Amino acid sequence: MTTSVALVDSGGTNIGSVRYALDRLGVRSALTADAATITAADRVILPGVGAAGPAMRRLHDADLVEVLRGLEQPLLGVCLGMQLLFESSAEDGGTPCLGLLTGQVVPIPATPGERVPHMGWNTLDVLREDPSLHGILAGSRAYFVHSYAAPVTEDTVAATTHAGRWTAVARRGNWWGAQFHPERSADVGARLLTNFVSEVPDE
């Protein structure tokens, strides 16, 4: 593959493992907070681990919020990065996010028998056919680590269930999101990343 990928340097601790996962696919990537490098890339990935408030502050401080909102090439948010694509997060008393996908991210409720954070392998419930899920079968399993989650919305293409029903994969046009960690999800994660770097952008 010759697709160039910009990994947005948002301070997430999973950036290195995402980059390594792309290396295994033969995809070159650049870790960057430079707006010109991001806008010139064929694909952009927004990784993230942690809380929405600090992550959005880092994006604002780097003057990247409007850059990401204005991208025309495919943008993939991973874990916290996916949550930042939504309108807002309930973290820190309410954090406005990028607003590219509809809905608010909320805390996973404490539920008897269901641990929070949601950590480990869980099943994907495919809700509709989508290029993001090409080659990923209903019932496939992926690796999750998160305490906040996005409810199922019109942008959800696959859901998962843990103390509620949540978005696992979202897509609206060229905006993609994966709540699970593709870099830790074996063949399912590799397939999603392959789909992302090879999909022809919407006209």
Domain boundaries, given as residue ranges, for the chain = 4-198
8 A C-beta contact, residue 15 and residue 8: no
Residue 114 is a catalytic residue: no
Counting as low any pLDDT under 70, the low residues of the chain are 1-2, 11-14, 200-203
- Which overall architecture, per CATH, does domain 4-198 show? 3-Layer(aba) Sandwich (3.40)
Residues 6+ apart with CB under 8 A from 97: 52, 56, 83, 84, 85, 86, 87, 88, 89, 105
pLDDT at residue 9 in the model:
87
Given 118, 146, 162, 181, which residue is catalytic?
181
Is 97 labeled as catalytic in the residue annotation? no
Report the C-alpha gap between 111 and 99 in whole angstroms.
29
pLDDT digits (tens, 9 = 90+) for 177-191: 999 999 999 999 999
Closest CA to 143 of 107, 164, 117: 117
Active-site residue, from 154, 183, 199, 203: 183
Q: What is the pLDDT of residue 1?
A: 46
In the sheet that holds 101-107, the strands lie side by side as 95-96, 86-89, 101-107, 148-149
Q: Is 66 a catalytic residue?
A: no
Q: What is the pLDDT of residue 153?
A: 96
Distance CA 145, CA 165 (A): 15
Q: Which of the following is catalytic: 79, 91, 97, 162?
A: 79
